[in-house]
Amino acid sequence: MSFIPIEIQEGAIALYHEVVARIWVILKAVYTHPEMLWLITPVVISMVLISYYFGKYKKEELGWNTAFGNSIVMLFACVDLFRHLHGRELLGFNTYTMLVAVVMGEGVLLMLLNFLHALPKSFAFALSSGMTVNSILIFLVVIVYGQVQLDYITALAVTALSLLIILLLKIMQFIEWPSEDEEEEDNKSKA
């Protein structure tokens, strides 16, 4: 006996199927539009290497200069996306142009706030971390290049994929050996 009405169960199952189908569309977009690989490959490599670095040096913190640099990367990626939209004659008053403009605005705002150290350090570093910036860029590139439909299904699919990527990177960091310097520091502090 279920306490959830059958209509809600059926709606949840239908939503699940729509989200899974949209995840598949997003993943296929990389293969059906290989020109995006020129932009997405360095972003993915950067994301993995930065995650690996912070997994190895667990006590290391992001610096203001890195946060500032990450926001500049966001700007460069958005410029390429505008180039892509212009080349496909899609640059205009539409959802893709507006989405890129919003992310570019976010990049400009983060760049200024990081340059001025205007936000609390922990908040600024969370917004400007490689994980955050690169996740936004990866999905933005795939959505724009692949012309993925923009709706709540895509938002749910991107959220699910982001959580999966973050989980995989956190697992990688967890199983990674700490640096010898940090092991020595830990041994000294225990002694």
Q: Where are the domains of the chain?
A: 15-176
**Which residue bears the tokens 């995840």?**
23
| C-beta separation of 173 from 54 below 8 A | yes
Per-residue pLDDT, averaged over 38-63, amounts to 86
- 118 φ, ψ (degrees, to nearest 5): -85, -15
Which pLDDT value is given to residue 51? 85
Q: Which tens digit of pLDDT belongs to each residue from 52-63?
A: 888 888 788 888
Q: Is the pLDDT of residue 1 over 70?
A: no
Which pLDDT value is given to residue 185? 63
Which pLDDT value is given to residue 166? 87
Q: Which tens digit of pLDDT belongs to each residue from 65-96?
A: 999 999 999 999 999 999 999 999 988 899 99
Cα→Cα distances 54→2, 128, 130, Å: 45, 15, 10
Strands (E), the chain: none
Retrieve residue 99's tokens.
Answer: 């989405």
In the chain, how long is the greatest CA-to-CA distance? 66
- If one compares 181 and 174, the residue with the highest pLDDT of the two is 174
Which pLDDT value is given to residue 61? 81
Strand, coil or helix: what is 49?
A: helix
Which pLDDT value is given to residue 191? 58
187: confidence class by pLDDT, cuts 50, 70, 90? low
Q: Which tens digit of pLDDT belongs to each residue from 140-172?
A: 999 999 999 999 999 999 999 999 998 998 888
